[in-house]
Amino acid sequence: MTLPAAKREHRKGAPLRTPMTLEEKVGKTLAELGATDAKGVETLFAEVRAAMERERQPLVAQGVPEGDREKISKALRDRWLARKSGLISLVDENWLKRSPKELKPVVGRHFNELRQFSSRMELEQLLKDVPAQLQRAVASPMGQHWQGAVAIDLRPDLTLPGYQRPLGSIHPITRVQREIEEIFLNLGFSIETGPEVESVYYNFDALNIPDSHPARDDWDTLYVDAQTVLRTHTSPVQIRAMEKHGAPLYIIIPGKCYRHDNPDSTHSPMFHQIEGLAIDTDITFADLKGTLDFFARKFFGEKVRTSFHPSFFPFTEPSGEVAISCVFCDGQGCRICKESGWIEVMGCGMVHPEVLRHGGLDPDRYSGWAFGLGIERYAMMKYGINDIQLFYQSDVRFLEQF
């Protein structure tokens, strides 16, 4: 049988180097212990602190009879805290007072921590740390057996880093929606909402898009059943609001819409619209132009110019598209505005008499204008986002930028 080298040495009678005890260590200077830098000092103090923690365990353990706890406390006090020969005093005497000048601040800091920690070996001190009401509980017969355990846990260590609760941020779609809402709320409009699962009547028929109308094909509709759809626009709420409130009516309608579109960088089967509707006596196209021009300058900046072009929607007559001077090139022409200097931002028009009639209003007495815009498109322009999918992927790296 072959023995390890060390054991063979021992057999021959050579002394084994036994590790130094704590008492031996605190009797030497730092230099004698080879602790010549901050790291070495830290290691030594950590060792002392670990020993202290280990030895005070019986003091705070559960189920120790009270008389024994006092005996343990006294023994610990004598060994660690005695004025002349206690371990703490020896650390003070041999490590701190005799440490080289350049190490003194480091040793001093560790020594103070050690001294503070050592107070937790005194039973009286442990009890003093417990709030008064818990002391009463501890004094009760039931509280007796766990008093030590409670005492150590209740004192918070204020040097530890606190819990961090990261705050979320407002989603860019919500942010832009609120910004648009704010502009119209300040103009005296109110907010109206309606169901996302809508009847074919409200989504199409009441908006002057009868079954036979070719315009129904323009909306790539998601049908729930023959009479129910996921609304393709927020416009059904126009009819619902007219039925509910009558005229005059000044509302904006934010909300989700659904179309049978394949997702790509500019399309999504779910997206957000804001619809505006103003109905009163003597409302003209001039009111529409004035309001939308004001809105565009509020949202995109005072320098922005608007331009209206004829268009077609079944629920407005006449209908128009609104373009703004390109916010990226100031109307000079760039890749984003396809060199035209203009970007289309919404559809609008005067409410069709049929639509007013479906809402229960007399088109000979009332007139109105309406507009509709896509919130995603506004958010993409505002923040320079080039892929609509980013809004729905819940990627924190994207969202935390807002």
* Residue 383 near Zn ion by CB under 5 A: no
User: Residues of 244-254 as b/e, b for ≥16 C-beta within 10 angstroms?
Assistant: eeebebbbbbb
Q: Which residue, chain included where needed, has tokens 């128009």?
A: 320
Out of 326, 350, 379, 381, name the contact with Zn ion by CB under 5 A: 326
| Distance in Å, CB of 324 to Zn ion, minimum | 10
Closer residue to Zn ion, CB minimum distance, 87 or 337: 337
| Distance in Å, CB of 390 to Zn ion, minimum | 22
Kindly give the interhelix angle for 375-383 and 172-186, rounded to the nearest 10 degrees.
110
| Distance in Å, CB of 345 to Zn ion, minimum | 13
Closer residue to Zn ion, CB minimum distance, 66 or 330: 330
| Distance in Å, CB of 402 to Zn ion, minimum | 24
Out of 329, 344, 354, 392, name the contact with Zn ion by CB under 5 A: 329
For every residue of 77-144, DSSP letters joined together read: IIIII-TTTSHHHHIIIIIITTS-GGGHHHHHHHHHHHHHHHGGG-HHHHHHHS-HHHHHHHHSHHHH
| Distance in Å, CB of 377 to Zn ion, minimum | 15
Contact 247, 361 (CB under 8 A): yes
String marking each residue 270-309 x if it binds Zn ion according to CB under 5 A: ----------------------------------------
How many residues bind Zn ion (CB under 5 A)? The answer is 5
Out of 251, 277, 337, 351, name the contact with Zn ion by CB under 5 A: 337
* Residue 328 near Zn ion by CB under 5 A: yes
For residue 273, which phi and psi values (nearest 5 degrees)?
-120, 155
With 0-12 / 13-18 / 19 or more C-beta atoms within 10 angstroms meaning exposed / middle / buried, residue 288 is buried
Continuous segment of H or E residues that includes residue 398: helix 396-399
Binding segment for Zn ion (CB under 5 A), chosen from 240-248, 261-269, 319-327, 360-368, is 319-327
| Distance in Å, CB of 341 to Zn ion, minimum | 6
Give the torsion sign (CA, 63, 69, 75, 81).
positive
Contact 365, 241 (CB under 8 A): no
Long-range pairs, 153-162, Cβ under 8 A, ≥24: 154/129, 154/130, 155/129
| Distance in Å, CB of 307 to Zn ion, minimum | 14
Closer residue to Zn ion, CB minimum distance, 51 or 336: 336
Closer residue to Zn ion, CB minimum distance, 78 or 330: 330
String marking each residue 98-137 x if it binds Zn ion according to CB under 5 A: ----------------------------------------
Q: Which residue, chain included where needed, has tokens 């918070």?
A: 156
Out of 334, 392, 398, 402, name the contact with Zn ion by CB under 5 A: 334
- Which positions touch Zn ion (CB under 5 A)? 326, 328-329, 334, 337
